[in-house]
Structure 1
Amino acid sequence: MDTDLIVLDETGRHEDLREQVGGILALVAPLVKPTTGLDLPGLVSFRIVPVETWQSEQAAETARLLRAYRELMPFWTRPGITLLGTAMLRTFRRISADMGGVMVMGATQPGPGADDSQTLLVPEALEHTGVLSDPEYLTQVIVHELVHHAQNRASQHRADWAAHTPKALLRGNGVSFLEEGHARWADQVITRDLFGAACDADSAPKSQRYNEVAKRKEITRLKPTVDPYKVGRTLVASAIDTVGTQELNAVWSNARLLPSKGEVADAVAALAADEPTRRPKLWASRLGSTTFTETGVRTFID
């Protein structure tokens, strides 16, 4: 499938960064499908934006997802969901300047077309997170977000899961572990192939401002107790080693295959274990115990 790659500098001040991102995209976009088995959308946009744009568009996307979730839930739960959404958006407005302008390396969301995705990059945040200190860090971030583009196409921005499990719209039910773990697994594979060693932008040198913001109570409260990147990568890597990318990719259109709480806990335990036992088995085993019928319906093998 042909993909159009577009990089826009909406700040009017970062032409060098626009060219750098464009060069990296041209290098790594052809590697996404051979690595993951997933096609990219027909249009992939990377937008270099002011933090104010990041704030407004991320708030709008959060509100959209909350509305879609609310409409899928029983009517008697909707007033509570509305109150929860209001509180979530109020919190987001308080912290969004620091999140978008200091801490977030990239954010990928739906694009203008039904199958399109776009990534927002805030130059100041790339500076504070240390991503711009080494081209390898920026490459990893771009690969990671590109994989989210491919995931979004495969799951129709989670719509394929939503009817069965509406919380998937809000990254519940194992979705964050799947999406972030899968993207982290792929960015490690691709950067290892490119540079001889996998790149970890989390180790990039952070600014003093970043370290100050990271200690804010409102920020620390939002930090998950279980890291979806590390745990999810372990979960996904084990599954791919066991069943391969084609079998794993059935999950993008089948909510029944999303990792369960118990399967995520199995990955947490595997990470805490001594080598060489660091390998979760539950989710990989369940993926391996399913097959397709002649009608194309995925069923479980007893």
Structure 2
Amino acid sequence: MKPTTGLDLPDVVNFPIVTVETARATMSAEMAHLTRLYADLVPRWRRPFITLTSAVLLRDLHSRTPVLCEFLMMAATTTVPGTKESVTVFVPEALHHNGILTDDKYLTALVFHELVHQVQNRASRHRENWITNKAMTLLHAGGINFLEEGHAVWAEKIATRELYGTPVDLRDAPTSEQYNKHARRGASTAGPVGPSLDTYQVGRLLVASAVETGGLESFNLVWTDHQMLPNKDEVAEARTCLAADEHTRPQGWASRLQRKAASRGVSATD
């Protein structure tokens, strides 16, 4: 893990295989924990609004998680409330419908992807390094989703290329008819329960450009400083580059990270 990401593994790695009901409960517990934490960080006069927001988010989560957890979700990495540990839950039924169990290479890629999320949580202290100065990221992650998912996909591709000679794409796994039916209905759209496909692709391009420009040491400063998170304009640039006919790299975020790193005495490396 560290040769790929430059980050250390957490002391404890939790990868339980759970039922659909347990996965739903885990995701609901994290959402409730995040909204309580947010309420503790904002002025008292705003807390009634947070209570209302929490109720809306939890209701939406409860309405979508039955389908999500049984058919659409590959895995989910969350913070264990009250601890500094992460947990990644796997639901066998969902792994089957996603096609992950059809080939070891898909399962390997997924496990590595989720392990990267646990490594990210350790590096950002479960987003505490950002939340302290930017509490809204608890409920509206913004650039954090592009960073975390893009970073996980970027690292997953490097690891599987080394293992198999070519990078593994989890989207190539043969999904079931039930999965396809629910996906067509739009149950996998972005929202409180997970990012969209666009997030993975745009995020990966952002991360690849940043690492190529400044090196891992420079890039990894992002886990400690909310000011280094990609902003809307930088994400938009990456989206434009991804849609372009010719292969281009977004430079806005990469350049800003490099300048920030240089101000801290971290030089760009190959």
Same fold (TM over 0.5): yes
Partner of 2:37: 68
Whether the 8 Å contact between 1:95 and 1:219 is mirrored in structure 2 is no
- Deviation track 1:100-145 (CA, whole Å, cap 9, x = no partner) reads 1111111111247843222100000000001111110111100000
Pairwise CA distance, 1:217: 5.0
Q: What amino acid does structure 1 have at the position aligned with 2:223?
A: W
Using the TM superposition, name which of 90-99 and 192-201 deviates more. 90-99
Q: How much does 1:238 deviate?
A: 0.2
Q: Cα distance 1:221–1:144, how it changes in 2: closer, same or farther (>3 A)?
A: closer
Shift of 1:288: 1.0
Q: Give 5+ residue unaligned stretches, structure 2.
A: none
User: What is the SS of the residue equivalent to 1:109?
Assistant: strand
Q: What is the rounded CA distance, in whole Å, between the counterparts of 1:55 and 1:248 in structure 2?
A: 34
User: Which residue among 149, 159, 162 is the counterpart of 2:128?
Assistant: 159
CA-atom RMSD in angstroms: 2.0
Equivalent residue, structure 1, for 2:221? 250
Q: 2:139 aligns with which of 170, 189, 201?
A: 170
Q: Offset at 1:57?
A: 1.2
Q: Which amino acid is 1:248 matched to?
A: F
Q: Could you tell me whether the CA contact under 8 Å between 1:148 and 1:183 is conserved in 2?
A: yes
Is 1:85 equivalent to 2:21 in the alignment? Answer: no
Q: Deviations over 1:212-271 (max 9, x none)?
A: 111335544748677110000000000000001111110101001000001101100110
* Alignment length (residue pairs): 264
Match of 1:52 in 2: 21
- Confirm whether residue 269 of structure 1 aligns to residue 240 of structure 2: yes
Q: Which secondary structure does the structure 1 equivalent of 2:15 belong to?
A: strand
1:210 is matched with which residue? 179
- What SS does structure 2 have at the residue aligned with 1:46? coil
Stretch moving more, 174-183 or 72-81: 72-81
What are the Cα deviations for residues 245-301 of structure 1, in whole angstroms up to 9, with x where unaligned?
11111010100100000110110011011223x2000000001112466xx699xxx
Query: How far apart, in 2, do the equivalents of 1:221 and 1:257 lie?
Result: 23
Encode CA deviations 1:188-207: one digit per residue, 9 max, x unaligned.
Answer: 00001100000011121111
Code of the residue aligned with 2:176 in structure 1: it is S
Tell me the distance in 2 between the aligned counterparts of 1:261 and 1:72. Answer: 24
Check the 8 A contact 1:167/1:173 in 2, yes or no.
no
Asked whether the equivalents of residues 68 and 187 of structure 2 are also in contact (C-alpha less than 8 Å), the reply is: no
C-alpha distance in structure 2 between counterparts of 1:104 and 1:80, whole Å: 30
* CA–CA separation in structure 1 for the residues paired with 2:252 and 2:156: 24
Residue 215 of structure 2 is aligned to residue 284 of structure 1: no
- Residue 92 of structure 1: CA displacement? 1.2
Once residues 266 and 70 of structure 1 are traced to their aligned partners in structure 2, the CA distance between those partners, rounded to angstroms, is 33
TM-score computed with the length of structure 2 as normaliser: 0.92
Larger RCO (CA under 8 A, 6+ residues apart): 2
The answer for the alignment partner of 2:114 in structure 1 is: 145
Which one has the bigger strand percentage?
1
